[in-house]
Amino acid sequence: MKINWCRDMSVEGTWIIVFTTTSSKEEAKRIAKSIVEKKIAACVNIVDNIDSIYWWKGSIEESKEALLIIKTKINLLDKLIEEIKKIHSYEVPEIIAIPIIAGLKQYLEWINESVSSTQGR
């Protein structure tokens, strides 16, 4: 069986996954709903109750957080960062993006369709 997958190496067509952590599941839901409603992201998965250990202001900290896994396109990253920062409670929120180099063609097309109305604004 042949898998129908797709690759797009052009910058404007590149899909990305963005990670951000929040202090609670409720905060994660507020961010997720906002970015999906504004069509900045096609989908957000929330993984609740993760353990995070990190350096902060010279000390090792430990906390429970929620992780957002955000699917979008590279050309929306600036808008996504702006929106997350407006809502996020952290002084310096984690916002990191990694490229999706390939995937199921229909899924990647769905991302394109889900965020298309905000492109070019």
How confident is the model over 64-100, as pLDDT tens digits? 999 999 999 999 999 999 999 999 999 999 999 999 9
Give the pLDDT of residue 103: 87
Give the pLDDT of residue 14: 86
- d(CA 54, CA 56) in angstroms, rounded, equals 6
- d(CA 39, CA 65) in angstroms, rounded, equals 25
Give the chain's domains with CATH numbers.
5-118 (3.30.70.120)
Buried b (16+ CB within 10 A) or exposed e, 101-121: eebeeebbeebeebbeebeee
Sort strands 103-104 and 15-22 into parallel, antiparallel or unpaired. Answer: unpaired
Provide the pLDDT confidence category of residue 18 given band limits of 50, 70 and 90: very high
Query: By CB neighbour count within 10 A (0-12 exposed, 13-18 middle, 19+ buried), where does 15 fall?
Result: buried
- Position 11 pLDDT exceeds 60: no
Provide the pLDDT confidence category of residue 45 given band limits of 50, 70 and 90: very high
